[in-house]
């Protein structure tokens, strides 16, 4: 019969050391976990959307304002106004600005967007703008999240089906549940590098629709910018599926100021700056160049002046509205032909009571959506306004103006 084992002093010391290491490891995992440094305050009951306004206001005054440095435009979701600032996304009452829900993380916010009654909040960690969270707009409840390598800065946009997150070297397309449908550009996983059609390209601009993703990029071996048209949801999200990829030609085709203006299922429109091809040649004006769904050129529309670097495109109904920096151009949703232009715009529009609202100096102009004719002008006092572009949104009878890094509610 074997003698029973006896614990030695060394055995006890080893066991204690292992226990201490396990506790330390657990504390490290807890400290670095997503739940640590996160605060979620949800609405006690779902917020209902207010009734749609059936007439325009005759006067507007400021109801409240709040910091909104992370969003790119005035945002609403379900029945709340959404602001993002300093790591916190807040759902607010449109009339009072009171907090209805709040979601905060101890990370910088890269961007905030909204679609389908949901709010997308993207945070920056050591892997870039990699931490994306989906929040319910009516309660602020966390629905899902995703994490992947991303650039340290990105631009968020939505198209009615997908969300597009584009940085200078990499972009991703996400479904409504944040599941990735496509990665394009730089890939950090060595096994996936050869799945990309090109390497080392700078992503200048992009835009999406339910069936097309247009990327304007500059690759080292190309003499000018390249327009690449992709499937936003290929069979394998790591293997891009191209419908066409063409190096642009003509004046402005090699400009870093060129950009994607709008994308539909059948057309893509780019902005190409003007200039001269050679010394002494006649100058070419800036223009909007329209391409088909495979990236082949169709038609060019000349512009009277270059676009501002603050130019934005807004889709209202079936029409796209391009804020040029000093005017508003309505584009046909199918052909991207210009329909009309309204001067003296200060920013992007919104729709209210069947009219297009456009911010102008000392007020908001209501335009006929078919002709662009001015129907009425609503005075707005903007003390301290710094001439930054204004983004409009409407929720019920409340008009929202995002000016600079602040959001103002008018009623």
Q: Is the dihedral of CA 107, 314, 349, 271 positive or negative?
A: positive
Mean pLDDT of 112-137: 97
pLDDT value, residue 195: 87
Instruction: Please say if the pLDDT value at position 287 is more than 60.
Output: yes
Output DSSP code: residue 306.
P
Distance CA 45, CA 55 (A): 29
pLDDT at 305: 94
Q: How many CA atoms lie within 13 A of 129 on its CB side?
A: 25
Q: Bigger pLDDT: 316 or 4?
A: 316
- pLDDT surpassing 90 at residue 142: yes
Interstrand relation of 347-348 and 390-395 (parallel, antiparallel or unpaired): parallel
Residue 293's pLDDT band, with cuts at 50, 70 and 90, is: very high
Distance CA 35, CA 226 (A): 42
Could you give the percent of the chain with pLDDT greater than 70? 89
Instruction: Report pLDDT for 189.
Output: 73
Grouping H, G, I as helix, E, B as strand and the rest as coil, residue 46 is coil
Distance CA 135, CA 411 (A): 27
- 244-268: pLDDT as tens digits: 999 999 999 999 999 999 999 999 9
Structure tokens at 403: 């000016």
410, two tokens: 């008018």
pLDDT mean over 121-143: 97
Strand boundaries in 93-151, DSSP class E: 99-105, 109-115, 118-125, 128-136, 142-147
Q: Locate 83 and state its tokens.
A: 């602001």
- CA-to-CA distance for 44 and 140, rounded, in angstroms? 10
User: Looking at residue 126, what is its pLDDT?
Assistant: 95
Domain coordinates in residue numbering, the chain: 35-410
Asked whether 77 and 118 are in contact (CB, 8 A), the reply is: yes
> CB–CB of 249/255 below 8 Å?
no
Does domain 35-410 match CATH 2.130.10.10? yes
Q: What is the mean pLDDT of the chain?
A: 92
Indicate the pLDDT class of residue 392, thresholds 50, 70 and 90.
very high
3-state secondary structure of 125: strand
Decide if 208 contacts 173 (C-beta within 8 A). Answer: yes
pLDDT, position 278: 63
Distance CA 165, CA 180 (A): 10
H helices present in 136-213, as ranges: none
pLDDT > 90: what percent of the chain? 86
pLDDT at 277: 65
Where b means 16+ CB within 10 Å and e means fewer, 272-301 reads bbbeeeeeeeeebbbbbbbbebebeeeeee
């Amino acid at each position: 019969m074997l003698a029973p084992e006896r614990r030695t002093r060394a055995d006890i010391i080893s066991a204690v050391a292992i226990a201490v290491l396990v506790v330390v490891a657990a504390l490290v995992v807890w400290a670095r976990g997503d739940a640590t440094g996160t605060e979620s305050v949800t609405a006690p009951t779902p917020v209902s959307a207010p009734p749609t306004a059936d007439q325009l206001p005759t006067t507007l005054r400021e109801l409240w304002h709040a910091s909104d440095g992370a969003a790119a435009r005035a945002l609403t979701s379900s029945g709340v106004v959404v602001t993002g600032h300093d790591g916190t996304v807040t759902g607010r009452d449109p009339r009072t600005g009171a907090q209805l829900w709040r979601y905060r993380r101890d990370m910088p916010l890269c961007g905030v967007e909204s679609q389908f009654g949901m709010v997308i909040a993207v945070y920056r960690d050591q892997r870039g703008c990699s931490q994306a969270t989906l929040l319910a707009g009516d309660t602020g409840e966390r629905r899902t999240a995703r994490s992947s390598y991303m650039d340290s800065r990105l631009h968020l946009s939505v198209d009615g089906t997908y969300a597009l997150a584009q940085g200078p070297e990499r972009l991703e397309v996400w479904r409504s549940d944040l599941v990735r449908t496509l990665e394009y550009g730089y890939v950090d996983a060595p096994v996936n590098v050869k799945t990309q059609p090109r390497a080392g390209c700078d992503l200048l601009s992009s835009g999406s629709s339910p069936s097309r993703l247009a990327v304007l990029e500059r690759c080292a071996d190309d003499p000018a910018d390249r327009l690449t048209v992709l499937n936003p949801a290929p069979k394998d999200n790591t293997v891009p599926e191209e419908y066409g990829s063409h190096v642009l030609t003509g004046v402005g085709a090699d400009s870093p100021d060129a950009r994607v203006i709008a994308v539909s299922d059948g057309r893509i429109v780019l902005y190409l700056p003007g200039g001269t091809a050679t010394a002494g040649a006649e100058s070419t004006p800036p223009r909007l160049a329209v391409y088909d769904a495979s990236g082949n050129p169709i038609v060019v529309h000349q512009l009277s002046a270059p676009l501002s670097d603050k130019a934005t495109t807004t889709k209202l109904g079936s029409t796209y509205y391009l804020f040029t920096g000093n005017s508003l151009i309505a584009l046909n949703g199918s052909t991207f032909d210009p329909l009309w232009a309204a001067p003296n715009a200060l920013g992007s529009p919104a729709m209210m009571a069947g009219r297009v609202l456009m911010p102008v100096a000392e007020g908001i102009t209501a335009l006929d959506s078919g002709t662009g004719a001015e129907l009425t002008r609503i005075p707005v006092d903007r003390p301290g306004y710094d001439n930054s572009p204004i983004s409009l949104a409407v929720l019920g009878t409340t008009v929202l103006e995002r000016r600079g890094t602040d959001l103002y509610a008018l009623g």
